[in-house]
Amino acid sequence: MDVFDHPYLSGLFGDPELAVLWSAKAQVAHMLAFESAFSRAMGAAGRFDRHLAAQAATHIDQLALDPTTLRGGCARDGLPVPALVAALKADAGDTAAAIHAGATSQDVMDTALALTLQGTTTLLDARLRALNDGLSALSDRDGGADLMGRTRMQAALPITVADRVRIWRMPLIDHRARLDLARAQTERLSLAGPVGTGDFADVAADMAQALGLTTAQPWHTDRSGIVAYGNLLALMTGSIGKIGQDIALMAQQGIGAVSISGGGGSSAMAHKQNPVLAELLVTLARYNAGQAGVLQQAMVHEQERSGAAWALEWMVLPQMAQTTGRALTAAIALVGDIKRMGDAQT
Amino acid sequence: MDVFDHPYLSGLFGDPELAVLWSAKAQVAHMLAFESAFSRAMGAAGRFDRHLAAQAATHIDQLALDPTTLRGGCARDGLPVPALVAALKADAGDTAAAIHAGATSQDVMDTALALTLQGTTTLLDARLRALNDGLSALSDRDGGADLMGRTRMQAALPITVADRVRIWRMPLIDHRARLDLARAQTERLSLAGPVGTGDFADVAADMAQALGLTTAQPWHTDRSGIVAYGNLLALMTGSIGKIGQDIALMAQQGIGAVSISGGGGSSAMAHKQNPVLAELLVTLARYNAGQAGVLQQAMVHEQERSGAAWALEWMVLPQMAQTTGRALTAAIALVGDIKRMGDAQT
Amino acid sequence: MDVFDHPYLSGLFGDPELAVLWSAKAQVAHMLAFESAFSRAMGAAGRFDRHLAAQAATHIDQLALDPTTLRGGCARDGLPVPALVAALKADAGDTAAAIHAGATSQDVMDTALALTLQGTTTLLDARLRALNDGLSALSDRDGGADLMGRTRMQAALPITVADRVRIWRMPLIDHRARLDLARAQTERLSLAGPVGTGDFADVAADMAQALGLTTAQPWHTDRSGIVAYGNLLALMTGSIGKIGQDIALMAQQGIGAVSISGGGGSSAMAHKQNPVLAELLVTLARYNAGQAGVLQQAMVHEQERSGAAWALEWMVLPQMAQTTGRALTAAIALVGDIKRMGDAQT
Amino acid sequence: MDVFDHPYLSGLFGDPELAVLWSAKAQVAHMLAFESAFSRAMGAAGRFDRHLAAQAATHIDQLALDPTTLRGGCARDGLPVPALVAALKADAGDTAAAIHAGATSQDVMDTALALTLQGTTTLLDARLRALNDGLSALSDRDGGADLMGRTRMQAALPITVADRVRIWRMPLIDHRARLDLARAQTERLSLAGPVGTGDFADVAADMAQALGLTTAQPWHTDRSGIVAYGNLLALMTGSIGKIGQDIALMAQQGIGAVSISGGGGSSAMAHKQNPVLAELLVTLARYNAGQAGVLQQAMVHEQERSGAAWALEWMVLPQMAQTTGRALTAAIALVGDIKRMGDAQT
């Protein structure tokens, strides 16, 4: 039970849009999309019987598969695909011959992941823009206000609110460009077969187009695109965490350089207004920073497929994505809650 | 949606017993146990009206609180306790005066965590013993068999199965002793009040006894007991990961030093028997190793309470506990699945 | 005393070329290059007296500054620049007025770092090409040999040496492209003044050209370029670590899919030939993977300068760079030592 | 070139006492101590010729071995011991037969590490006591002063300086107890032979006594004692980092709850007094926190010896120890520099 889906902690940590995107239901839908497109493309290429292939694809498209039915197979096989394929074939009769043959579990799951990352990138990009817009509006409103510039936790020289907001925004713009580049190394079809040597030159372009992905050389054991994506997530939460840390510091009594509406209450001290979202941004930054270091360990992916290294990605990447998504919604909300930024006039 | 509660990945990663222990329902029950014991003890000490306090405790004991009702409050306040206290008082009438007054959110949540860790320790200890027993039986059966000792991935000198199993068991025994010591630094009442200065000398012993915990000096910002517990979890999964890595290496064709029943199937290669559980142990070890480094960041817990550092614990520790629990059940199952260990006779 | 400069461990871990680049002597030279270019450009812009500025620059260029003389100042100030500036001004007489005024410590050190990263990138890029060439030659020679494809530590289906080498090479090519992109976000002049608001529009282009860097908006607290560079280092060592892990697995007796000349000796077993470099690649990958997660913590860089977060970079990034450099030289050597790759004929 | 031995950064990060203890020279001395004690004990047990063994031990005791001479051997063998043993035997004539035979490299290096950790523990313990004394004196002097208790970065309720100092001290006292327990799992002779099966029952007690260590079951691949030690180091720097963070926050203008003598200067702002040591404590805490997560990865130590996992310890543990040592000296100095703690009277 992680904090993102937790009955009450999700109030603080949850990101409903990303939760849908990373849900088991969405993963199954993505895996079925792979299998359907695979049958269709193999049929079109004449590698499956065209008629059976069309039937198979339709069969797959119409299948309503409850994710929990894959649980037992996943326990046995270490991944859900054998059970999924068995379910596809169960009532398929002759069309079973035109299902999955030649592909492998990793093709299915890595392609499903590519689709999830595509949706994630789109969402995060839109939120980066929204956060950037919110900061721009803040700067438009309060940018001229004085703010004591502080270095090494000490008052240094006067700056303006605009100065500080400018450098908050700077990495966000860069992150959008980084996300754009990340598309090329993540939104790729995986189609390599059991040991990465399958020849699908006649099939890949069709499939990729059907799925909205690009084709690529088999990349099954080269996890650098995925891990680089995780790194980028941590960069984003890091930049946002800096904003949160700055706001929490500004909100201190005695500093008073920001006024926020809607702070959190205390069970013991009714007078308090806690900068809950600002602190949350720091938490999320520190979490993702560390997770990036864990995900990097998955790069040592031995031979033609590592069960151990691959499964480590499953434990880490979904949480990193949801952390990033929540950091963005929380930052957008927090910036919107700022009633005044700048040193109080004295 | 983490791997532990995931509709199908939980088949591989899930630990039903630990999932119950770390569920929101159990946390709420533990928080209510705190509040009930607090009202009772404050009444007994004459700090709450005795009659009201008894009524309040009964009221709390009988409350059925749906964890999801705390979601909105948690979003607002950054933690569930203000909403929980409000729920306790909602229908309490006069007895509301004998509820929570003088305590603080962190007292409630840290004490609830202490109870969860108590249950976790008991479970893990029993499983360590079971794994140790399983390894002992393995050594009894196959210990005399030859095994090529391997250092730096190279054949070195002959050893026996008993030799290798001995050093697998060695840390497990030490971990049980470490768990015993960990009880003293985790199974403690937290009762310090809003800024850690509350005087509850007349109340703490009663409460601790009621809850099955010990009393302690206020430790609200000293997270070393909790982080040390996380470290111990990572040590456990590390030791178990070594067993998994060894078994995965022994299971290679060409080495053939172990034969395992029930290996996982492949969607593409019907002839394969994958050492799924052995690989899983490595995954879990690498995950927890990294998480320990994230949890350690929570030690920098500023002033009288850090919302940022504290919430980082919530994101990491439950997953570490479940990882450890699953490593133990998987290791117990894997050892039980070993049909033969030792170099094949040639 | 880290492993890179250690009297004997440097035999295994050391990278003499990168050690020079990251030496204190080189850092001081880079800091002096900043100060000299700054005086000159400020003079050219008429912001320093032109004559004094030219004298100051010449004075700085001719200065031989022993890095150890900055030790006391660094202890006192937390960074070496105040002592460095004092040393520059010590014998400068009137020209002291044309030294450093308007710049700040972070400008000096971040620009010096940019120069170090520039040299590092050039070296790593050349080595990536050399490693890629070595692998290409290996594939040319042994590519046709049979190799059992292995997934989840189990024999799967036959592949060829060329198949495995192809996917070893794939990320290396991508990393070269990534390094190219990284130049834009690291080889930048830092010139922002004490709190990041200095206006150096008339100076920056001159300085940047003199130093071989580009100009950029003040980026003093946006550490994403530097942290992204560290992430890339970890990606590189990860990809190389996978090669090392594969070779160590192939070198096992019983597998025998690679034969390496010059393996390491044992103090106890004269018959052994240990795949020392292959194991080293795994060590370096796991080290850098974790360090990336530590460096990411430096993103939470509060206000206009964080002494705490900034100094964390100094503890981590130089080691990451040297780890990467050594991974490349070790991989190049290891690939060159491969006498035969492919399953032994039986 | 790490920050601990760096020509100028060592002014900030260096710890001369720990640097000596972790120097190559000390490691070589500890390895020679092992070899000398081994020859002597094997002679006493009649397993080496008594006369030759005595000569060998004397020969070893008198040897002046320049660590750099082991560099080439370390490059070749992946560790320094084969070259060290060769150097011991080079001029030894007949006595060579009474040197090292039956032991293995890991015995030598792990025992040398045990001796280094013994010295480290003694130093750290003394410093924990000194820091605790310094805090006690601070509390004696300023404990009665008012301090605004702050939770979630917000003013909460008034406390006293004594209240805050009490919880700073609490973990330090616990860490001393933890260090005491750590002795048992680190100050152990390693004597297991090439694959951990050597029988040295007649030798170990003698050797252990000579070296000031205890005997233990062979623990060569059970790294839990060493990794647990690293965890404890991170706990210590974490607790100290909390002190540093609190002081840096108190030192802010506008808060003004602490006055420190000897703050660091700025190259640009003569008026500033930076809380350099307070920030350093945070840096060191975050560094060690992350390193603990890296060291934990070394638990997956495959088979009878992992070159990869073992070498990871060499890259991480010495830095963790020096980080901890420096955190303690810096904290002691910082606490001594506090001229006044408590909210300014208004």
Which value does ipTM take for this structure? 0.97
Cβ-defined contact of C274 to B156 (cutoff 8 Å): no
Name chain A contacts of B79, Cβ cutoff 8 Å.
12, 264
Taking each helix axis as running N to C, give the angle between helix A105-142 and helix A204-211, from 0 to 180 degrees, rounded to the nearest 10. 40
Query: Who among D225, D231, D299 is closest to B241 (CB)?
Result: D299
Query: What's the pLDDT at B273?
Result: 84
Name chain B contacts of A279, Cβ cutoff 8 Å.
78, 306-308, 311
Query: Who among C148, C252, C297 is closest to B153 (CB)?
Result: C252
Question: How many residue pairs bridge chain B and chain C with CB atoms within 8 Å of each other?
Answer: 88
Put simply, the chain D residues between 97 and 136 with a CB less than 8 A from any chain B CB are none
Is there a domain that residue A142 lies in?
A: yes
Query: Does A218 lie at the interface with C, CB-CB under 8 angstroms?
Result: yes
Query: Does A262 lie at the interface with D, CB-CB under 8 angstroms?
Result: no
* Domain encompassing residue C328: 10-341
Residue of A nearest to D152 (CA): A274
| Count of C-beta atoms within a 10 Å radius of residue A261 | 10
Is there a domain that residue D146 lies in?
A: yes
Query: What's the pLDDT at B346?
Result: 57
Examine the pLDDT at C15 and tell me if it is beyond 60.
yes
Query: Does C270 lie at the interface with B, CB-CB under 8 angstroms?
Result: no
Query: What secondary structure does DSSP assign to A131-148, as a single string?
Result: HHHHHHHHHHHHTTSEEE
Q: Between D264 and C302, where is the model more confident?
A: C302
Distance between CA atoms of B262 and B314, rounded to whole angstroms? 36
Query: Does D256 lie at the interface with A, CB-CB under 8 angstroms?
Result: yes
Which residues have a Cβ under 8 Å from the Cβ of A21 and sit 6 or more positions away? A116, A119, A120, A123, A321
Residues D260-285 have a mean pLDDT of 87
Residue of D nearest to C245 (CA): D308
How far apart, in Å, are the Cα atoms of C162 and each of C144, C166, D184?
A: 6, 6, 52
Query: What's the pLDDT at D346?
Result: 57
Helix (H) or strand (E) holding B177: helix B161-186
Query: Looking at CA atoms only, how far is residue C147 from chain B in angstroms?
Result: 13
Q: Which of B146, B147, B150, B154 to mutate to test the interface with C (most CBs of C within 10 A)?
A: B154
Cβ-defined contact of A311 to B283 (cutoff 8 Å): yes
Cβ-defined contact of D238 to B151 (cutoff 8 Å): no
Under-70 pLDDT residues of chain A? 263, 346
Query: Who among A1, A248, A264 is closest to B77 (CB)?
Result: A264
Cβ-defined contact of D279 to C78 (cutoff 8 Å): yes
Residue B291 and residue B330 in contact, taking contact as beta carbons nearer than 8 Å: no
Residues C101-119 have a mean pLDDT of 97
Q: Chains with ≥3 Cβ pairs under 8 A against B?
A: A, C, D
Query: Looking at CA atoms only, how far is residue A127 from chain C in angstroms?
Result: 18
Is there a domain that residue A346 lies in?
A: no
Residue D325 and residue D318 in contact, taking contact as beta carbons nearer than 8 Å: no
- Give tens-digit pLDDT for D46-95: 999 999 999 999 999 999 999 999 999 999 999 999 999 999 999 899 99
Distance between CA atoms of C110 and D44, rounded to whole angstroms? 61
Closest by alpha carbon to D334, among D282, D290, D295?
Answer: D282
Is there a domain that residue A265 lies in?
A: yes
Is there a domain that residue B285 lies in?
A: yes
Per-residue confidence band for D1, with pLDDT thresholds at 50, 70 and 90: confident
Query: Does A301 lie at the interface with C, CB-CB under 8 angstroms?
Result: yes
Cβ-defined contact of A311 to B11 (cutoff 8 Å): no
How far apart, in Å, are the Cα atoms of A162 and each of A136, A137, A169?
A: 9, 11, 10
Query: Who among A224, A286, A288 is closest to C174 (CB)?
Result: A224
How far apart, in Å, are the Cα atoms of B151 and each of C147, C277, D70?
A: 24, 15, 22
Cβ-defined contact of A149 to C235 (cutoff 8 Å): no
- Give tens-digit pLDDT for C232-271: 999 999 999 999 999 999 999 999 999 999 767 777 777 7
Provide the residue count of chain D: 346
Query: Does A162 lie at the interface with B, CB-CB under 8 angstroms?
Result: no
Closest by alpha carbon to C280, among C233, C326, C332, C335?
Answer: C326
Query: Who among A152, A157, A274 is closest to D154 (CB)?
Result: A274
Cβ-defined contact of C293 to D297 (cutoff 8 Å): no
Q: Which of C157, C174, C227, C304 to mutate to test the interface with A (most CBs of A within 10 A)?
A: C304
Query: Does B324 lie at the interface with D, CB-CB under 8 angstroms?
Result: no
Closest by alpha carbon to A3, among B311, B300, B117?
Answer: B311
Query: Does A305 lie at the interface with C, CB-CB under 8 angstroms?
Result: yes
Is there a domain that residue A2 lies in?
A: no
For residue C86, the domain's CATH number is 1.20.200.10
Q: Chains with ≥3 Cβ pairs under 8 A against C?
A: A, B, D
Cβ-defined contact of C152 to B276 (cutoff 8 Å): yes
Distance between CA atoms of A82 and B160, rounded to whole angstroms? 37
- Give tens-digit pLDDT for D13-37: 999 999 999 999 999 999 999 999 9
Query: Does B270 lie at the interface with C, CB-CB under 8 angstroms?
Result: no
- DSSP H helical segments within B48-104, as ranges? 50-62, 71-77, 81-90
Query: Who among D69, D274, D315 is closest to C287 (CB)?
Result: D315
Greatest CA separation for chain B: 83
Residue with the two structure tokens 């989840």: C152
Residue of C nearest to D198 (CA): C268
Query: Does D16 lie at the interface with C, CB-CB under 8 angstroms?
Result: no
Residue with the two structure tokens 């970079």: C313
Query: Does D156 lie at the interface with A, CB-CB under 8 angstroms?
Result: yes
Per-residue confidence band for D266, with pLDDT thresholds at 50, 70 and 90: confident
Q: What is the mean pLDDT of chain C?
A: 96
Query: What's the pLDDT at A346?
Result: 57
- DSSP H helical segments within B78-153, as ranges? 81-90, 105-142
Is there a domain that residue C5 lies in?
A: no
Cβ-in-10-Å burial (0-12, 13-18, 19+) of D215 comes to middle
Q: Chains with ≥3 Cβ pairs under 8 A against D?
A: A, B, C
Name chain B contacts of C308, Cβ cutoff 8 Å.
none
Query: What's the pLDDT at C346?
Result: 57
Query: Does D198 lie at the interface with C, CB-CB under 8 angstroms?
Result: no
Cβ-defined contact of B294 to A276 (cutoff 8 Å): no
Query: What's the pLDDT at C157?
Result: 96
The structural domain count of chain B equals 1
Distance between CA atoms of C289 and B217, rounded to whole angstroms? 39
Under-50 pLDDT residues of chain B? none
Is there a domain that residue A293 lies in?
A: yes
| Count of C-beta atoms within a 10 Å radius of residue C94 | 11
Residue B92 and residue B100 in contact, taking contact as beta carbons nearer than 8 Å: no
Name chain C contacts of D314, Cβ cutoff 8 Å.
3, 9
Query: Who among A149, A174, A246 is closest to C224 (CB)?
Result: A174
Q: Chains with ≥3 Cβ pairs under 8 A against A?
A: B, C, D
Distance between CA atoms of D154 and D96, rounded to whole angstroms? 70
Query: Who among C151, C157, C279 is closest to B152 (CB)?
Result: C279
Name chain A contacts of B80, Cβ cutoff 8 Å.
8-9
